[in-house]
Structure formats: structure tokens, C-alpha cells
Structure 1
Amino acid sequence: MVISFKHNDKTYLNYNIESDEFATLAIPDAEKLLIVKNAKTDIVRKDRNDLLAQTDWTQMPDAPLATEKKTEFAEYRQALRDITNNLDNPNEVTWPTPPTL
């Protein structure tokens, strides 16, 4: 049995379970760069999601925050969500500053 590892419907690596061997297929340089960029963007997305999760409580109706603070956190959370829109270089992310408590 062979397991194929694909990206954008193109196979780049085959693994033969019976022989325990990998077969690497040729990957064009432009495709390599895209694969790396997508992987780094996934890391940025994970980090962003972690930051959102840390501030979920601020948007609950019974959160012990003034309306002004809730609004600041809502704006911060929106800025976090917007990070991956038009992210050209995942190595150069400008993270928004969280509000102070």
C-alpha cells in the first residue's frame, strides 16, 4: 500500500508501507515556496486563534468589564481576525496590541 502526500492536488511524496520507503517527487521551486508560505500562514492562524481564545471571556454578557473595555477588546479581536486577510509575508506579522485590563 502506498500513501501519497499531496498539495493542491499534486503528489510530492509517496510512502510505501510494505517496504517502509519514501519516494520524493520533483517539486518546482515556486511550488516549494508556496507550500512553505501556506505552512507559515497556518502557524500565524493558529497563534491568532489562541489569542482570540484568550479573550473570548471579554465578550460575554456577564464579563466584569466596562462597556468601553468591551469595545476595546471587540476591536482588538477584529484586528486579530483581519490579520490573515492579505497576509503577504507570514514572517512579518504586525500583531495588534491587546487592551489593558
Structure 2
Amino acid sequence: MQNAFLLIRRLPNGMQNVPATMLREVGIDDKTAASLIHEAKLDVLRIQRDQLLRECDKTQLPDMPITTEKRAAWARYRSALRDMPENVADLDNVQWPVPPAE
């Protein structure tokens, strides 16, 4: 994820929605900036993950017309999504789980 497009929701000094590239200019030290950027990247990852989970919620409904094997494959995919961000080593190069073939 590019820092140029990353917004920090709230800074310790109360400022809101500050681009990550401007943290130094608004008086945030490097250690705090790194922590804020890391948390913002986690937030973005969680938002994307939650959207992917919502998109495949229907695969787990009992009246969804798919095979037991396909339902299990979707369950494994959803489990891999839920394990994020804990299993992500590099927030700048996220390897997303691949959904089962339709």
C-alpha cells in the first residue's frame, strides 16, 4: 500500500485525516509516524477483508444451491480471510487468499 494515498484518521495532537506523507510536516516524530502508518494500513486491510467476506456470505447459507465440496472450499477461503491481518507478513504486499472457482 502506497503511503501517498494513506490517510491517518487521528493524530495524537488531535488533527484528523492527515496524509501519511505529511506526518513529519505536522510535527509527528518518526517512531510515532511509523506506528500510525502501520495501524492505518491494518485498518485498510481490515476494510478490504470485510468487504470480501460480505461478498461471499451467501455461500454459507443453507439454501445456497452449491455442492457440499464447494461450500467447504468457500468456508476455507473465508477462514483464510478472517485470519488476516494476523497472517500478513508485509502490509505493502498483501497476498490475498484466492476464492474458489465458480
How would you bin the TM-score normalised by the shorter chain?
Answer: 0.7 to 0.9
1: distance between equivalents of 2:28 and 2:75?
43
CA shift at 1:60, angstroms? 0.4
State the structure with bigger RCO (CA 8 A, min sep 6), 1 or 2: 2
Query: In the alignment, is the contact (CA less than 8 A) between 1:41 and 1:90 conserved in 2?
Result: yes
Instruction: Tell me whether 1:90 sits opposite 2:91 in the alignment.
Output: yes
- Identity of counterpart residues, as a percentage? 36
Q: Which has the higher helix share?
A: 2
Q: Which residue of 2 aligns with 1:64?
A: 65
CA RMSD of superposed structures (Å): 2.2
Q: TM-score, normalised by structure 1?
A: 0.74
Give the SS at the match of 2:33.
helix
CA shift at 1:28, angstroms? 1.9
Which has the higher mean CA deviation after the structures are superposed, 61-70 or 83-92? 83-92
CA shift at 1:13, angstroms? 3.8
CA shift at 1:90, angstroms? 1.4
Q: Which has the higher strand share?
A: 1
Give the aligned length. Answer: 86
- Residues 18-97 of structure 1: pairs in structure 2 closer than 5 A: 26-97=27-98
Larger radius of gyration: 1
> Runs in 1 of length 4+ with deviation above 6 angstroms?
none
Q: TM-score, normalised by structure 2?
A: 0.73
CA shift at 1:30, angstroms? 0.8
Unaligned runs of 5+ residues in structure 2 are 1-8, 17-24
